[in-house]
Structure 1
Amino acid sequence: MITLHHLEQSRSFRILWALEELNLNYQIQFYRRLATLAAPPELKLVHPLGKAPVLTDGEQSIAESAVILEYLQEQYDTQQQFKPQDHANKQQYRYWMHYAEGSLMPLLVMQLVMTNVPQHVPFLIKPVAKKITAGVKAGFIQPRLKDHVQFLESYLATHDYFAGTFSFADIQMSFPLQALVSRTQGKYPHIQAFIQRIAERPAYLRAQSKEQAL
């Protein structure tokens, strides 16, 4: 039996969604975040880093979203629906599977950290912390995020999906794009259209319903 170790408000929703796209039988082991928003220590019993998602399938225990998606596609996508087979789109598939967490997400995490730092320092140095973190965001993070937004908007202006037709690359890209829209100010019409498009998929809606019921 496949088990998804699913942490609330986390990247593991992508795996829940993929399981629904594949119409697989699976069970969910759900974990709530601590008051600090950290993952609970029980997750370290599943994987030494205590992070989610983790997928167990028989004797196998698999971590990292892209690796899990690749495993599910190779193992269970018998009709090859969720990974392109032509060379050009296969290259795009590989690129976006790595870009999501390798290029875009680190900037969003850095921005979140810089936003939260002033809330966790002694009162007397809050003004200094705010000034330093604002400088990092304005001088380093935001210019780079602007480049990424322009890149993504340009690509999605001419592509409904990231690798031809809908694929697991779109699932992988969903989390950073949703984070981008929710954590930054700005209008991103093509990114927002993509988010709306994937959110209307029946499997996405089923996954969302299952998560809300946990």
Structure 2
Amino acid sequence: MLTIHHLGKSQSERIVWLCEELGIPYDLKHHVRDPVTKLSPPELRALHPMGTAPVITDGDLLMAESGAIVDYIIARHGGGRLALGPSHPDFAAYLYWFHFANASFQAVMGRNMIQSRLNLPPGNPVAAGVAERLVRALKFVDSRLSDAPYLAGAEFTAADIMIVFSLTTMRYFHPVELAPYPSILAYLRRIGERDAYRRAMAKGDPGMPLLLS
């Protein structure tokens, strides 16, 4: 049985959602953030040297990193569903947006969260540069979603599962106003209509309002 170690309000929501989309049975282990540090509790930190979520076990396998876990589950348990293969016309777009989600977008969200907590003086060039990069990223995503209903193109894929955390739950840690990005808002409405997404969020973070607007 696949076991997902889920930390509340974290990127591990991606793995719960993926399994719901694929109809894969799993055991969900909830972990609660330390009330002072807001980081992983000791029992989650003990599972993996990095001490972050998600972590899965699958038989004797223990794996961390949400992108790697998504790839693993799709290949091992999902029959390749929600990924696009080399012969698909949107293969390159799928690869790009799948990796953009964490390598670029979540990274710039994280940097903005940190700099906002440093109380840097107005006009600080580092803070301004980080903020401007987030605006560029949001405009870029919004432009893509004005051309296609999903990041890879016409089909919902794991690239969408990878980015939605950063557009929604991550905003609990760093609020971002999405009103200037109508295509992102329309996209999040489509995501919110997916039964698997609703089930996953209700199981992983019950009672948490979903930041879909």
Q: Which residue pairs with 1:202 in the alignment?
A: 195
Matched, 1:158 2:143: no
Deviations 1:136-163 (A, max 9, x none): 322x112211221221111100110111
Within 2, Cα distance between the matches of 1:58 and 1:102? 29
Q: Which residue pairs with 2:40 in the alignment?
A: 39
Larger displacement relative to structure 2 (179-188 or 201-210): 179-188
User: TM-score w.r.t. structure 1 length?
Assistant: 0.86
- SS of equivalent residue, structure 1 residue 151: helix
Matched, 1:13 2:3: no
Within 2, Cα distance between the matches of 1:63 and 1:168? 17
One-letter amino acid of the structure 2 residue matched with residue 211 of structure 1: G
Q: Could you list the runs of 4 or more consecutive aligned residues of structure 1 that deviate by over 6 angstroms after TM superposition?
A: none
Q: Which runs of 5+ in 1 are unaligned?
A: 119-129
Matched, 1:174 2:167: no
- SS of equivalent residue, structure 1 residue 172: helix
Q: Superposition pairs for residues 12-161 of structure 1, below 5 Å? A: 12-35=12-35, 36-78=37-79, 80-85=80-85, 86-118=87-119, 130-131=120-121, 135-138=125-128, 140-161=129-150
Q: Which runs of 5+ in 2 are unaligned?
A: 208-213
Deviations 1:184-213 (A, max 9, x none): 235211111111211211111111221244
**Deviation at residue 180 of structure 1 after TM alignment:** 6.0
Instruction: Say whether the 8 Å CA contact 1:117–1:133 is kept in structure 2.
Output: no
- SS of equivalent residue, structure 2 residue 118: helix
Within 2, Cα distance between the matches of 1:173 and 1:191? 11
Within 2, Cα distance between the matches of 1:62 and 1:133? 42
Within 2, Cα distance between the matches of 1:41 and 1:133? 39
Within 2, Cα distance between the matches of 1:185 and 1:208? 22
One-letter amino acid of the structure 1 residue matched with residue 191 of structure 2: I
Quick check: which has more Rg, 1 or 2? 1
- SS of equivalent residue, structure 2 residue 30: strand
- SS of equivalent residue, structure 1 residue 208: helix
Within 2, Cα distance between the matches of 1:212 and 1:6? 9
Instruction: Say whether the 8 Å CA contact 1:114–1:133 is kept in structure 2.
Output: no
Within 1, Cα distance between the matches of 2:46 and 2:25? 23
**Count of paired positions:** 201
Within 2, Cα distance between the matches of 1:5 and 1:145? 30
One-letter amino acid of the structure 2 residue matched with residue 100 of structure 1: A
User: TM-score w.r.t. structure 2 length?
Assistant: 0.87
One-letter amino acid of the structure 2 residue matched with residue 103 of structure 1: S
RMSD between aligned residues: 2.0
Greater share of helix? 1
